[in-house]
Amino acid sequence: MEFVLSAAISYLIGSISFSYLIAKKLAGIDIRAHGSGNAGATNTLRVLGKGPAIVVLVLDMLKGMAAMQIAWYLSGGSTVAVAFAGIFAIIGHNWPVFFQFRGGKGIATTLGVALMLSWKAFVVSGILCLLVILVTRYVSLGSLVFVTALPVTLWIFTGDAALFGVSLFVTLLGYVRHYSNIRNLLAGKERKLGDPSSRPLK
C-alpha cells in the first residue's frame, strides 16, 4: 500500500509543469506552443532565456528528489520504492495529468533522480553529458548520453542489481521521449544549442 501511495504522490509531483507555469507568469504564453513544443528547461531556454531556464531546471530536479524523499519515509527506507518513485516523477513530468498529458522530456527530473540514487553516478554521467553538448551543441544527444551512462555508472558505483534494473526504465523513458530527436540527429536535422531558431523571445 505504501508503495502504491508513494508512486501516486510521485506522479502528481512530477505532473507539476514548472516550465508551463513560469512561461504563463512571465510571458503569458503556453510554452508548448513555442520553440520545440516541449514543457521543459531546454525549451524554456529557447523561448524565455537563461534565467527562467535555470529556474525550471532546478525546480524540475527538485521535484524528482522530493518525490523520492517522500517515498523513503512512506516505505520505511526501501531503496526499490524510492527508485520507482523517481520513475513515476519522470512519468508525471513527461505526461502530466494537470496539463493534458503534454509535458517535457524528463531530463531535468532525471538529473534529480540520478543525484538521489548516487551522486557519483550523477557526476560521471553528467560530465559525459556536458562534454557531448559542448563538443556537438546537441542538447538531445547529451541527454541521451546521460540516460545511457546512468545504469552503467550506477552499477559501477553501487553494485546494486535492483537499482541497475530500475535505472533501465529511466533509460527507456529517455529514449522514448527523444524518439523524434534521434530521427532528426540521424537525418542531420536536429536543432543545435545557440542556433538562430533557438533565440529567446524579446
Task: Write down the pLDDT at residue 193.
Answer: 82
Q: What is the mean pLDDT of residues 28-47?
A: 92
Domain that holds residue 106: 2-198
For residue 158, name the pLDDT band (cuts at 50, 70, 90).
Answer: very high
Instruction: Note the pLDDT tens digit of each residue in 58-77.
Output: 999 999 999 999 999 998 88
Q: What is the mean pLDDT of residues 182-194?
A: 90
For residue 35, name the pLDDT band (cuts at 50, 70, 90).
Answer: confident
Number of domains, the chain? 1
Task: Write down the pLDDT at residue 39.
Answer: 93
For residue 2, name the pLDDT band (cuts at 50, 70, 90).
Answer: confident
Per DSSP, the chain holds a count of helices (H) and strands (E) of 10, 0
For residue 140, name the pLDDT band (cuts at 50, 70, 90).
Answer: very high
Instruction: Find where cell 553516478 sits.
Output: 121
Decide if 50 contacts 72 (C-beta within 8 A). Answer: no
Task: Write down the pLDDT at residue 1.
Answer: 74
What is the spatial distance between Cα 65 and Cα 163, in angstroms, rounded to a whole number?
16
C-alpha angle 153-154-158 in degrees, rounded to nearest 5: 120
Grid cell at residue 64: 524528482
For residue 200, name the pLDDT band (cuts at 50, 70, 90).
Answer: low
Instruction: Note the pLDDT tens digit of each residue in 70-123.
Output: 999 998 888 889 999 999 999 999 999 999 999 999 999 999 999 999 999 999
Which has more pLDDT, 78 or 19? 19
